[in-house]
Amino acid sequence: MSLEKNEILEIIKAVDESSFEEVEIEDGKTKIILKKQGALSAAKTTVVKEVVQEQPVAPVAKQEVHTIPTQVERSVATQPKVVQENLLEVKAPMVGTFYASSSPENPAFVSVGDTVKEDTVVCILEAMKLFNEIQAEVKGEIVEILVENGQLVEYGQPIFLVKP
């Protein structure tokens, strides 16, 4: 099996949007394992176990249990901030873990107040052990960093605010 980068990203997005906690794809010599991690994933698992232990749950009710935390997660993660109208957002081009620098010993790629160009590397997003350098794609000054180092970000989630 030989998957292209965009196919892998589509698989990651599909798993992220699903109620599955783990997916394993195997074909010959290639094996891909995707596992969700984080506090909200643990909370979803706990809620399902509590509901199942208290009363028998029909499959439809189980789906509702999975859907509710996902909606809460998305509304918290994408809650719009009150910002000036002239600020531009640098958005995550994929689902992954946000890293502000290439290693813990190195300084962050950018900080608040730094000037960036379109080709300036602003962070790294790690997906499936692949570290992807993310470029600003806009010119301006970094006004705010919207995510924490090591935080999981979703596709299209704003990660920086830039004043053009």
What are the structural domain ranges in the chain? 5-35, 39-77, 88-163
CATH classification of 88-163 is 1.20.210.10, yes or no?
A: no
Residues 122/133, Cβ–Cβ less than 8 Å? no
Residues 71/79, Cβ–Cβ less than 8 Å? no
pLDDT mean across residues, the chain: 74
State the sign of the Cα–Cα–Cα–Cα dihedral 7, 8, 9, 11.
positive
Task: Answer with the residue of higher pLDDT: 84 or 112.
Answer: 112
State the sign of the Cα–Cα–Cα–Cα dihedral 158, 161, 163, 164.
negative
Q: What pLDDT, in 10s, does the model give residues 62-91?
A: 434 444 444 444 444 443 444 567 899 999
pTM above 0.75, yes or no: no
> Does residue 110 have a pLDDT over 90?
yes
What is the rounded distance in angstroms from the CA atom of residue 162 to the CA atom of residue 122? 11
